[in-house]
Structure 1
């Protein structure tokens, strides 16, 4: 029999009465034996009796209504209970526990310390069965590549794949260049190799000052030896180390490694600060039951989920509020780090400004996200449109906004595209693509003017956008306004927005408008601009792919589309077709000797002419 918030079932009461006064993990079960909720406690008896005695939030009331029994596992201490709780939640996925939605999209760095000659590996695997030192995650893949190259240039390790490098009598090209210790040749010094591994691990754990001082010392030693080329290389490496991330406020440049953890609605954010610089921001969503949990519990879930997958744990974690199990969290983090970790709420000074910076970053992210999820941000969208009406002096909020962008690579496959937003949201039916003539392929303003003229010519009488956004600067704006002419420029408002400065330039008057970066109207314009950029790049990639295939195969005489598909299916690529013999081509259905000879001769002529 099911219970109710004020009257739990008799079987549940009997199970709770048997609970021991020891630390552990408990699971509430329903009639079918399914786990509804998993929790941890310093005293199982006190915690479970507290569940029965107190009416709580909607989740707690639902738990008591559906539960008929409870089971538990005794642990050695609270930290062990915290670890076991997280693992059981991951495995059983109880419906009343809130989880952080993690995915394999963010890469990590691993050091393969279980191998004879360890490597630095980029991985997206969620699990770490070999318990290798893992660091990250790194949302910015370009920054990750820069970091890997920096680490391997300062402390070269082998780059070959496989658990053991294959034996070889001579080093690979990287070894010949001095960028690999070449253990494959048997000449690598074991102590020196292990030192390099430790140096890389120390840097990834956040000891940037040690890396900085080491580079400075090596540079000075090279200068004393008058090895100025090596000194210049080390100087450049030191400058690259100082270029990662961006500086934080002056008040926190104390070189203490710290993370900032904040939560807003169903999103959590971790900001990593290393050596006085913010090096990374990671955002992760909670699942759909986040509204059932208070902020303190979501902060605890964020910290446990994030640090369970990485060894990059700082001395200090700044939070909005103290998590509900902060003492256990600090003990667990300290055990993983190998040193003390404090979880604190800054009240004033530089640390408080950093926390506010992280909150602003997450708030701005949610503003941008709201336009992709109408149910979340209808009010924000309306505020953005009303703000644009005030900024540009429109009689009412703009209902129809379009944005134009152009794309080409050194004059090849020139295209332009327009995206349409109605009522603040994408209107896919209004998206348009334009293929540009080759004679203007290297002239971006000319492509903008052509696309504007062609688009306006398709509009029906009385139907035109309120705002026409151009992705570009003043030159592109002048081209668009000139192509539209006085008639269209009087009906709609043209504006341009440049990517770097995010400066808006308005129409004929060319008035420059610099809005705050956290401005809701600016965020909307940037969202429209970014969607146009995404759409035109997608079209450009499609055209480039088709064009690349056409340039190789469509000029071959005597074959149609069906034969081209069979050839590509059989050989796998145009390069293999070009390298094939006549007899090999004849193995393709529909290709006889005459046709095979024609294809073969075509590629030979193209090769001789430098095609």
Structure 2
């Protein structure tokens, strides 16, 4: 379709809620979106200057536009979700429709069985779930089995068949795991009371079961049936222990879905917690790959609809970190404090942990993707014009004014490149002057790189505040590199990042990966510098004791140290041992020096 036809379409789009679909010239759907006002939303694609390259490419590929008008924004949200699943447009976030989650089934039959399943059969049975792992299902079923005696056989326990004596009790009855309804040892009313209690436990309500067991224990105790009372007491302890582990907030908070999101340059991670009677009865985290620099709000709205549909949630209220538009029939709460804020923070922590685990997996299985993500994050966090694939960090090691040295460590793609590390002995500065020392080593480093036509870094980090940074900038000015290499200073006390000509420092999130990389660079430079400084001091101290002996030169000292390894051993050596190494004359001078009366 020509640009003229697109312009006509844009002018005729209604100002209604609905879903829009973009097609390429081959007639393929390449993007589906929802809007409260179709005209404003679709027009914005063609009137705004987009920061994202992917969005610009999408707009260039649009050859045709179609739209579907709906009654409400909620209808638009649901329709968008279904269309994305059906057509899988290239530029949309794709959500997998996973049908293999486990459920707990209470079978519709006389004396219902309770068992796990991954298949939903529309036969009137009750299904609770889906759960995010079979482990959760088995934990819950083990609890139920310990509290209530249920049948596990698949016999048709019709009343006439039981009366005719068609079935005989099995081993489960003799083990005490079943009360034998197949032979009429348990009434249907009694069995259904158990099923009613089990249904509440699965929903997270332990109150009724606890009350029932406590009354039973009391009745047994009054009848002096202490063994039965003890058995019920053990069930109460099991139930209370399970409840204590699962209840994490106020039990009055029930039938609520909680959603939180963390995101980076490429992905969004949405955590979902379902709360019933103060207990988390379900937890799931969804990873969504960004296609067009979607905002957290857009990703969260999309994920809420998908997750609630996937897990068949009927909750009437949701807790979220910020306002979202998912329909008027659902109450949206943004907690600020108290138990509600506590559970939202817990969800956010789950999302962060999931993100960290994914990073660890990616780092192992796809190190290039990990490095690319780190570099993109550092570029954004530090406001750089290009990714800092090559970073160099400088540190002065000037202890008590002696043997001043400096260190330069190099990171490439976020990892130490130790073969490129360099240390410097300060040559032009007298006394402890950190600013002048920094100016010298930065000048020497980049003068050499320029002379040898070696690649320059994209980022220089100076361990120090404004003064150190200013000194380094003087050297870059002299070399004509000012503005060609990004440079920042990091002050130790508050981890402040200083930029040239900017008096206000930048403070990164203390847990951000960018700050951790910078701290790693700074610490590595400090370690490398201290190590070199210590070696210089040791060497000077070692040589100084022998240098003071008249007639003993550097060559003799080297020969002695090769043989005896230390000045202490030389001092304690016998005269004939020294003579074997350096001859009679020099051996006498050394021996006499150390054995003066």
Q: Is residue 302 of structure 1 aligned with residue 299 of structure 2?
A: no
Note the residue ranges of structure 1 that are not aligned, 5 or more in a row.
332-340, 384-394, 400-421, 425-517, 524-611
CA contact (8 A) 1:257 1:274 kept: yes
Shift of 1:264: 1.5
Shift of 1:148: 0.6
Partner of 2:355: 366
Q: Which whole-Å CA distance do the structure 1 matches of 2:122 and 2:80 have between them?
A: 19
Partner of 2:591: none
What is the DSSP-based 3-state SS (H/G/I as helix, E as strand, rest coil) of the residue aligned with 2:211? Answer: helix
Matches within 5 A, 1:123-142: 123-124=117-118, 133-139=126-132, 141-142=134-135
CA contact (8 A) 1:11 1:68 kept: no
Q: Which whole-Å CA distance do the structure 2 matches of 1:63 and 1:163 have between them?
A: 60
For residues 42-87 of structure 1, give each alpha carbon's deviation from its aligned partner in whole angstroms, at most 9, with x where no partner exists. Answer: 6xxx425531255466576555543444555666765555444433
Cα gap change, 1:178/1:250 in structure 2, threshold over 3 Å: closer, same or farther? closer
Q: 1:271 aligns with which of 259, 270, 273?
A: 273
Question: Alignment length, in residue pairs?
Answer: 372
Shift of 1:147: 0.8
Q: 2:210 aligns with which of 209, 212, 237?
A: 212
Cα gap change, 1:291/1:261 in structure 2, threshold over 3 Å: closer, same or farther? farther
Note the residue ranges of structure 2 that are not aligned, 5 or more in a row.
379-406, 417-510, 517-597
Shift of 1:373: 1.5
Partner of 1:160: 153
Q: Which whole-Å CA distance do the structure 1 matches of 2:341 and 2:204 have between them?
A: 21
Matches within 5 A, 1:35-46: 35-40=29-34, 46=37
Matches within 5 A, 1:5-24: 9-10=6-7, 12-13=9-10, 17=13
What is the DSSP-based 3-state SS (H/G/I as helix, E as strand, rest coil) of the residue aligned with 1:149? Answer: helix
Partner of 1:52: 43
Q: 1:96 aligns with which of 91, 95, 105?
A: 91
Q: 2:221 aligns with which of 212, 223, 239?
A: 223
CA contact (8 A) 1:246 1:277 kept: no
Matches within 5 A, 1:208-607: 208-244=206-242, 252=250, 254-265=252-263, 266-278=268-280, 281-286=283-288, 288-289=289-290, 292-311=293-312, 313-314=314-315, 316-323=317-324, 325-328=325-328, 331=329, 342-374=331-363, 375=368, 378=371
For residues 225-259 of structure 1, give each alpha carbon's deviation from its aligned partner in whole angstroms, at most 9, with x where no partner exists. Answer: 44433433333333323333766998745454544
CA contact (8 A) 1:37 1:97 kept: yes
What is the DSSP-based 3-state SS (H/G/I as helix, E as strand, rest coil) of the residue aligned with 1:171? Answer: coil
Shift of 1:312: 5.6
CA contact (8 A) 2:285 2:354 kept: no
What is the DSSP-based 3-state SS (H/G/I as helix, E as strand, rest coil) of the residue aligned with 1:268? Answer: strand
CA contact (8 A) 1:264 1:362 kept: yes
Q: Which whole-Å CA distance do the structure 1 matches of 2:65 and 2:374 have between them?
A: 44
Q: Whose Rg is larger?
A: 2
Q: Which whole-Å CA distance do the structure 2 matches of 1:248 and 1:151 have between them?
A: 15
Partner of 2:522: none
Q: Which whole-Å CA distance do the structure 2 matches of 1:81 and 1:160 have between them?
A: 47
CA contact (8 A) 1:271 1:358 kept: yes
Cα gap change, 1:216/1:245 in structure 2, threshold over 3 Å: closer, same or farther? closer
Q: CA RMSD in A?
A: 4.7
Partner of 1:120: 114
CA contact (8 A) 1:99 1:301 kept: no
Cα gap change, 1:93/1:349 in structure 2, threshold over 3 Å: closer, same or farther? same
Cα gap change, 1:50/1:193 in structure 2, threshold over 3 Å: closer, same or farther? same
CA contact (8 A) 1:244 1:279 kept: no
What is the DSSP-based 3-state SS (H/G/I as helix, E as strand, rest coil) of the residue aligned with 2:197? Answer: helix
Cα gap change, 1:175/1:91 in structure 2, threshold over 3 Å: closer, same or farther? farther
Q: Which whole-Å CA distance do the structure 1 matches of 2:135 and 2:152 have between them?
A: 19
CA contact (8 A) 2:73 2:326 kept: no
What is the DSSP-based 3-state SS (H/G/I as helix, E as strand, rest coil) of the residue aligned with 1:97? Answer: coil
Shift of 1:296: 1.6
CA contact (8 A) 1:249 1:354 kept: no
Cα gap change, 1:169/1:86 in structure 2, threshold over 3 Å: closer, same or farther? same
Cα gap change, 1:292/1:53 in structure 2, threshold over 3 Å: closer, same or farther? closer
Shift of 1:291: 5.7
Q: Is residue 150 of structure 1 aligned with residue 152 of structure 2?
A: no
Q: Which whole-Å CA distance do the structure 2 matches of 1:361 and 1:316 have between them?
A: 20
For residues 295-327 of structure 1, give each alpha carbon's deviation from its aligned partner in whole angstroms, at most 9, with x where no partner exists. Answer: 12222232222222335655643211222x233
What is the DSSP-based 3-state SS (H/G/I as helix, E as strand, rest coil) of the residue aligned with 1:261? Answer: strand
Cα gap change, 1:365/1:129 in structure 2, threshold over 3 Å: closer, same or farther? same
Q: Which whole-Å CA distance do the structure 2 matches of 1:119 and 1:249 have between them?
A: 27
Q: Which whole-Å CA distance do the structure 1 matches of 2:68 and 2:215 have between them?
A: 54
Cα gap change, 1:301/1:142 in structure 2, threshold over 3 Å: closer, same or farther? same
Q: Which whole-Å CA distance do the structure 2 matches of 1:233 and 1:178 have between them?
A: 12
Q: Which whole-Å CA distance do the structure 2 matches of 1:227 and 1:214 have between them?
A: 17
Cα gap change, 1:238/1:87 in structure 2, threshold over 3 Å: closer, same or farther? farther
Cα gap change, 1:88/1:380 in structure 2, threshold over 3 Å: closer, same or farther? closer
What is the DSSP-based 3-state SS (H/G/I as helix, E as strand, rest coil) of the residue aligned with 2:318? Answer: strand
Q: Which whole-Å CA distance do the structure 1 matches of 2:35 and 2:154 have between them?
A: 45
Shift of 1:347: 1.1
What is the DSSP-based 3-state SS (H/G/I as helix, E as strand, rest coil) of the residue aligned with 1:99? Answer: coil
What is the DSSP-based 3-state SS (H/G/I as helix, E as strand, rest coil) of the residue aligned with 1:292? Answer: coil
